[in-house]
Amino acid sequence: MFATQTQPIQFIEPDTRKPVFHIREIPVYGDLILAPMDGYSDLPFRSLCRELGSAMSYTEFVNVNQISYRKQVVDAILKFKYDPRERPITFQIYGNDENTLVEVAARLQDLEPDIIDINMGCYVRDIAERGAGSGMLREPGKIARVISRMAKLLRVPVTAKIRLGWDDNSRNYIEVAKILEDSGASLIAVHARTKEQAFRGEADWSAIAEVKHAVKIPVLGNGDVKTVADIARIKAQTGCDGVMIGRGAIGNPWIFSRRDRDQVSSAEKIALLRRHLALNLEFYGERAGLILFRKHASRYIHGIFGAADLRLRLLTCTSVAAFDQLVEEMGEPLHRPQGQV
């Protein structure tokens, strides 16, 4: 069975060339970075993206209350597991209480991350309306206090990921960016939409350009980067130091090698799908690993012969053996002689 045979990840060795940018004293040797995405940017997926060219790693975000109040601590710490070869590794956290944010960030240093990032961009109602995630954008004073305290207390750099504001009537991204820099943040990642937009509408790349012009620390541009051409366009339009890619990488991690989906053969897609599942099973165990992988599988098979018929079966598959059989069926057309039906 393929899923029990995990090929080792071939991490890119440290580059001896000039870094693209620094996060304080930490060099980053590339300009494409996998975005932190809850439910997606776990160790298995991050590892594959790093192998294909993502220049650094961000964990999924973790609610500081889970750690501070010992609720679901095991699940929270699982999200911070990383391979040392992923470095630089960034732990992303969120919360609405200033003291808890600072205290948990200080304790997380024991796990030896390179960077700690504060999520100020999550738009989910239960998070944002409680003053965490993008809810922090409504309280610039709190942002200043939290970042200042962390920058003075922590050994590692502090960074932040933001949106443009709460809604179109409160687009305060320039104010927030300047506060972050003045308070000691070492990098800002900008998702070019407001909280109210969520993922609707077009990302406003001109706002990223304004942030880049307003601060001296590195700026990552994020939003609507789906193709290699988009990478070139966002860099040319904004001058950003790096490009953070989220949804555009799900099912298409080859974008970090600057290859579009239609440049990747079906055989290569299936081979990586197999490896990804094997890594999931190794990391989470068979049952959870398969369930958590199904959402990735539906994206990997996009454009593959017979994908429409197999998608529902993959999404509802309950055993690794059955999943293996479905993947075998998916690969059969690849081995047919040319012209054979």
Which positions are catalytic?
A: 122
Locate 224 and state its tokens.
Answer: 């609507």
- Kindly compute the dihedral angle of the four CA atoms of residues 200, 205, 211, 217, in this order, to the nearest 10 degrees: 100
Instruction: Give residue for tokens 């094997």.
Output: 278
Contacts of 66 (CB under 8 A, 6+ apart): 72, 73, 75, 76
Peptide bond connecting 113 to the previous residue in cis, omega within 30 degrees of 0: no
CA pair distance 134, 166, nearest whole angstrom: 7
CA distances to 43, 113, 204, 269, 335 from 85, in Å: 11, 12, 34, 24, 36
* DSSP category for residue 25: T
> The dihedral of CA 226, 63, 145, 26: what is its sign?
negative
CA pair distance 178, 197, nearest whole angstrom: 23
Let me know: does 160 contact 211? Beta carbons within 8 Å: no
List helix spans (H) across the chain: 43-52, 64-68, 73-79, 98-108, 125-128, 140-153, 173-183, 205-214, 228-238, 266-284, 286-300, 307-315, 320-331
Question: Which of 290, 244, 250, 257 shows the shortest CA–CA distance to 10?
Answer: 257
Locate 215 and state its tokens.
Answer: 């601060």
